[in-house]
Each structure stands twice: as structure tokens, then as C-alpha cells.
Structure 1
Amino acid sequence: MQFRCLPTAALVLVALLLAPVSAASAAPGSTLDEIRARGHILCGVGEAQEGFSEASDDGQRSGLDVEFCAALAAAVFGNRDAVKFWPLSANDGFKSLQSGDIDVLARGAAWTLSRDTEFGARFTGVLFYDGQGFMTRRGNAISSVLELSGASVCALPGAMGEQGVAEFFGSQRMRYQIVTQESWDDVVKAYVAGSCTVLTGEVSLLAVARSKMSSPGDHIILPELITKEPLGPAVRQDDPQWFAVVRWTLMALIEAEELGLSSGNVDAKRAATEPEIRRFLGLEANLGQALGLPRDWAYQIVKNVGNYGEIFERTVGAKSDLKLERGLNNLWNKNKNGLMYSMPFR
């Protein structure tokens, strides 16, 4: 492109038009500006998903997705309560995100190619690794899905039920009998009645079903998954700065656990000498500046909400009714199967 004959004013205009735009320096009217002016984040969550988003009798919400939005509010405002929740059905989540009714969709939706390309959304990371698994009675002395040859399986029709069973057992050349029901409640009832050896479905659903049984401890969820259902928060495609804020809030939860920082010790750790801890807490670097956040944004997340392990345990893990093992949701350096891994804070 030739600019030699253009007047000076035109050259200046061309330079301005071609200048790169930094995501950190959001233009007026950006999502972060709107949130700050409003005074709270609008977070889309599930209507009633035990362990992920559920409301108490007084309307207070709890769960893994709810805690993530609280962490996001802490990053932006230093206050975990600066968030309002929009309970949404599976069909309404991405529509509400596209229309601008919500700032972030935290409802447990699996990250797939079509949702990441056709729905006008961008997934920022994985908050919970879910997938199709199996539950059986502890007395059956089964510890692996590879020991299920010849078993009878209670399942829903479709991809996350009967089809997944057929594909897995076929690939392993294992025999099985299928027992299907049209509704999840009826599938669970068939299992409880002894109509099958194992119950299959998404692990999060299996955990909820187990928690409601008369003797939850008599049932075990086998460790392997036969499908991938990575669940995580999504934002609109039109604001790279807000995308970065949501992504790095998730990373901060994971990084805090990697660094051994928790809601109980983070104040004491401000006196730490380790460079990575001081950098993370904003004591020797201002990593928040690139995101448009306060210098101590990561400290505020840990102080207000805790690290990823803390929120996992109290919402779906050992301290919750679901009693899920960490499994794939463990840190990469704490368990050979763990997939939780933060990108470097530097």
C-alpha cells in the first residue's frame, strides 16, 4: 500500500486506523465498564443443579458454578457478593448470553465445537471435567469398568446412555445387557430395584442420584469415564478483555491451589519471600493492569472464595452431599490422572 502522496492529516488518520488495539485498554462501553457502572456481574447459572447451582429456601444460591461467579465478582470488585444470578434452562443459556442479559454463562454446559463456533460464545476454560461413568453397589466388588463384562446396565436412550454403553462395550469386546427407561428418575429406580448391575450416566448425575439413596455409602462410582464432557464458563465473542478476565479468574483459582494458597492462609502468605507467590498476590508485579483489574485481584479471589480445591470440596467433593472424588479434576501434579493446570502467572 502506497501512502507517499497522502497529506499529513490523512497519514495520521491511517496510522490511527491501523494501530493495534490492546484488549487491556477497553473502549468505553466494554463489558467490564458496564459491569463496574452497574455495580455487579450478571451470571447465568442452572435452574436447579445440585452441587453446581441450587437455591435454598431463602433464595441463596450455592454450588460450583455459583462459587466461580463469586470469584469473578471478587476479582472485579473485591466483594464476592457483587453478583446477581440468572437461573437458566439448558435451552436459554446461550440465548441469554447472546442477547446481553448476562455477562457470563457459568451454567454447566459442555465445551463442544458447535457451541464454541455457532453460538456466538467462547469458552474460557474447564471448571469441571464431567463425562459418562458407571455406578455399582460396593458389595459387587467391582473397581473398574473393565470388570463389567456380562453386566446388566441401566441407561437412558441416546448418546450419554445406551449409545455410549454400546460403543464402549463394543470397543472392549465385552458382553452386556441393557435396561433402558425414558426418564432419568425411572432409570435410577430400576437400578435401586435391582434390575441391573450398574447405573450409567454423567458422573455429576450419578453423584446426585447416590446422595438421595437410603444408603449412599453402599454405592461406588467407578473411576473411569467413557466420554468427555468438559464444563466451563462461556462469554460472548465480542469482548477480548472480558474473555481474559473470566479465563484468568479460573486460572487464579487453580494457581492458588498449586501455590498452596487458601482462604485461611492467604493473609499470612503476603509475607512470603517466594517470587511466584509475591507476583501472584500483586506484591511485586501488577498483573491486574493487563486485565483492567486492581493490582490485588488474585488475592481478593483467594481471600473471598478460596482456591479451586476448596470450592470443589465444599460444593461437589468430600465436604458436600455428592462426595465426588477429585479424579480428573485434581491438580496435574497431585494425581496422575489430574487435568487441572494453570497457565503461568508471569
Structure 2
Amino acid sequence: MKKSVFLGALTVAGLAAGVAGAATLDDVKARGTLNCGVSTGLTGFSYPDANGEWQGFDVGFCRAVAAAVLGDASAVEFVPTTGKTRFTALASGEIDVLARNTTWTFSRDVDLKFTFVGVNYYDGQGFMIPKELGVSSAKELDGATVCIQTGTTTELNLADYFRVNNISYEPVPIETNAEAQQQFLAGACDVYTTDASGLAATRATFENPGDYAVLPEIISKEPLGPLVRHGDDEWGDVVRWTLNALIAAEEYGVTSANVADLASAPTDNPEVNRLLGTEGELGAMLGLEADFAVDAISAGGNYGELFEKNIGENTPIGLARGLNAQYTDGGLLYSPPFR
């Protein structure tokens, strides 16, 4: 059971071993394009708009990495991946980084041979139902049919939760969020379960979102974040410190609107100076330009800007910062120092 949940760990690990040690940073520079793995479509996080342009919170991170490495936020090839295909795509080298909403777990880190570079969204698994079902708690779902994406942590979480609460369910396996939405709206399942952020994103696309409720129970920890292959630490550092740059920028008040001015000359804050490359040699340590963080922040804004624009409370997704607030505001976001 566990191997099926983790998508044939030995096969994926073998693929990862085959490309371990590859100089991804050099490959990306030579190619002139970042190959970034995203979802097949999750509103607010990674989805093609009406013009076929990829948008979203995870997409914004991909563009920030492309800007940091190549100086061009548009130099990204977005590769849609499902719960089943995402790890093979990364292990085989088809993509350079996986930025779709993926949970950092022990098995994925250790057994599948991937390196999670950080957490860009702290989440947890929830349940969505039609209000007409008349259910107010997940513990009332005995015998329910449940739409669940295969190849995800939600499969094992669901089995554990129902077993612990001594209730039964009938799984309705689906592969993509679009398929889950279609099946759920068609009544093929009573419940849709995935990360709470994904439920909010999905419900926002419904014609009548008010007809559906997300139940109060959050049954797991789902730290979501970008990941790279084991054995390519230099590339991992680039992706990690691009994420940290976006988080630190919000803490220090560096935004897409003021970053160019702040980078034009040293400020009275040494940490901001090092972040923006007007002091020290941090960019060179990564094999990047001194102003790599300036380019990353300019691409779509700091962490807070990306959050508010794509999934925040003033968007149809309507997510509060919660655990994803800066540590100074009671959240968990915290960048190591730039020094």
C-alpha cells in the first residue's frame, strides 16, 4: 500500500540516481529556459488563463527562479504534472524544479531521493461537501463516497483518519483537480478531499460556491514547497535562496515597487544591502549575478505580494495568511539571514 502511495519509490529513486550530480544550474543557463513542473490546473496556484498564459502563486515562484538565474521572468517552460507523473518528471530531468503544491514528507525526501528547499505554503487536508448533504463534521461521513487524487499524501491520510474514527468510505480515484471537480459536481462522490487551500481554490471556480462547505476538520500537516533532485546541491541552493529572498523581502519591506530604488545604492540596513547585492558577494557564491534577488523580487513581488495577488483574502480563493504569515505576525514564515 505504501509503495503505491509513493508511486513506486524504487523506480523513481533509480531515475534520480541516474541524473544525480547533474549540474542543473549550468544546464538552465545553457538552455536559456527554466523547466518548471506545475499542476495540470489549480486556480490561484498554477493554471493557464484564457490566453493560455500560466498564472498563480506557484507559477510566480517559477518566474522568480527564472529571473534570478536568467534575468528574465518569462524564460520558463511550464510542464503540467499530475500526482502520478510529477516525481518521475523531476527524477528523469524533464523538469528542473517541481513547484506544484507538493507535500514535504519523509519518504519523498529520503526514499524518493528529492530535496525540498523550503516551505512556501503551510497547509492541511480537509473535506468539501455539498451543503445539501447536511453534514457538519467529517466524523459524520460514514459510508460516504470520496473523490481523491491518486499518488498523493491524501490517500494515506484519508485511510488513517477513517480507520482511527472507525468509519468507512468508498474511494473514487481521480488523477487531476479538474477531474475531481467534474466528478464532485456531477454527484459521483459525496466528498472531495485534498489540501484545504486546494479546496478553497476549487470551490472558487464553482458557479454557485455558496452551495458547498469545507468541513472544520483539518486532518494532517501538509507543508508544501518546491523540490529538486538529490545530488545537485548547487542548484538546490539557488532555488532555496530564491524562496528565502522572497520571504526576507516581505519582512524587510522590499517590494516590486521599491526594489529598484533600494538597490540603486546601499541603504542603512546591512541585511537589505546583502539581500539586494549592494554589499557582499552572496550572488557570486551561488554562481549568479549580485542582484539575483532584485530580479526575483521584480518578477512578481515579494512573498506577501505573490500571496495577496493570487490566493489572498481579496481574491476569489480568499485565503487568510494564517500560518503563512511572517513570524513577526504570528505565522511560521522565517528566512535564514543573508550573511
Contact 1:188 1:199 in 2 (8 A): no
Alignment counterpart, residue 226 of structure 1, candidates 211, 216, 219: 219
**Identity value in percent:** 42
Give the 3 Å change call, closer, same or farther, for CA 180–296 of structure 1 in structure 2: same
Give the 3 Å change call, closer, same or farther, for CA 239–162 of structure 1 in structure 2: closer
**What are the superposed Cα offsets for residues 104-145 of structure 1, whole Å, 9 maximum, x if unpaired?**
11122211111112223211111222211356899xxxxxxx
Bigger CA radius of gyration? 1
1:303 maps onto 2:298 in alignment: yes
Alignment counterpart, residue 341 of structure 1, candidates 330, 334, 337: 334
Task: Give the number of aligned pairs.
Answer: 300
Deviation at 1:300, TM superposition (A): 1.2
Give the 3 Å change call, closer, same or farther, for CA 85–254 of structure 1 in structure 2: same
C-alpha distance in 2 between matches for 1:132 and 1:189? 22
Relative to the length of structure 2, the TM-score reads 0.76
Q: 1:87-102 residue pairs with structure 2 within 5 A?
A: 87-102=80-95
1:269 maps onto 2:262 in alignment: yes
Q: 1:138-149 residue pairs with structure 2 within 5 A?
A: 148=137
Contact 1:161 1:201 in 2 (8 A): no
Q: 1:304-319 residue pairs with structure 2 within 5 A?
A: 304-319=299-314
Q: Which residue of 2 aligns with 1:130?
A: 123
For 1:235, give the aligned amino acid.
Answer: V
C-alpha distance in 2 between matches for 1:150 and 1:234? 34
Deviation at 1:148, TM superposition (A): 4.8
Give the 3 Å change call, closer, same or farther, for CA 100–199 of structure 1 in structure 2: closer
C-alpha distance in 2 between matches for 1:322 and 1:101? 31
User: What residue ranges of structure 1 are gaps of 5+ in the alignment?
Assistant: 1-27, 139-146, 171-176
Contact 1:156 1:162 in 2 (8 A): no
For 2:48, give the aligned amino acid.
Answer: A
1:207 maps onto 2:200 in alignment: yes
Q: 1:118-197 residue pairs with structure 2 within 5 A?
A: 118-134=111-127, 148=137, 155-156=146-147, 158-161=155-158, 163-164=160-161, 167=164, 182=172, 184-185=180-181
Alignment counterpart, residue 70 of structure 2, candidates 77, 101, 109: 77
Q: Which residue of 2 aligns with 1:35?
A: 28
Q: 1:242-257 residue pairs with structure 2 within 5 A?
A: 242-257=235-250
1:282 maps onto 2:277 in alignment: yes
Contact 2:36 2:62 in 1 (8 A): yes
**What are the superposed Cα offsets for residues 311-341 of structure 1, whole Å, 9 maximum, x if unpaired?**
1122222343211111221111112xx1111
What is the SS of the residue equivalent to 1:85?
A: strand
What is the SS of the residue equivalent to 1:79?
A: coil
Q: Which residue of 1 aligns with 2:103?
A: 110
C-alpha distance in 2 between matches for 1:311 and 1:52? 10
Deviation at 1:52, TM superposition (A): 1.9
For 1:123, give the aligned amino acid.
Answer: F
Q: Which moved more, 1:125-134 or 1:60-69?
A: 125-134
RMSD between superposed Cα atoms in Å:
3.2
Contact 2:38 2:46 in 1 (8 A): yes
C-alpha distance in 2 between matches for 1:200 and 1:189? 16
Q: Which moved more, 1:151-160 or 1:270-279?
A: 151-160
For 2:52, give the aligned amino acid.
Answer: G
Q: Which moved more, 1:206-215 or 1:123-132?
A: 206-215
Contact 1:75 1:300 in 2 (8 A): yes
Q: Which residue of 1 aligns with 2:18?
A: none
**What are the superposed Cα offsets for residues 18-47 of structure 1, whole Å, 9 maximum, x if unpaired?**
xxxxxxxxxx97221121111111111112
For 2:59, give the aligned amino acid.
Answer: V
Relative to the length of structure 1, the TM-score reads 0.75
For 2:288, give the aligned amino acid.
Answer: L
Give the 3 Å change call, closer, same or farther, for CA 252–149 of structure 1 in structure 2: closer
C-alpha distance in 2 between matches for 1:201 and 1:238? 31
For 2:61, give the aligned amino acid.
Answer: F
C-alpha distance in 2 between matches for 1:281 and 1:106? 24
Deviation at 1:225, TM superposition (A): 3.0
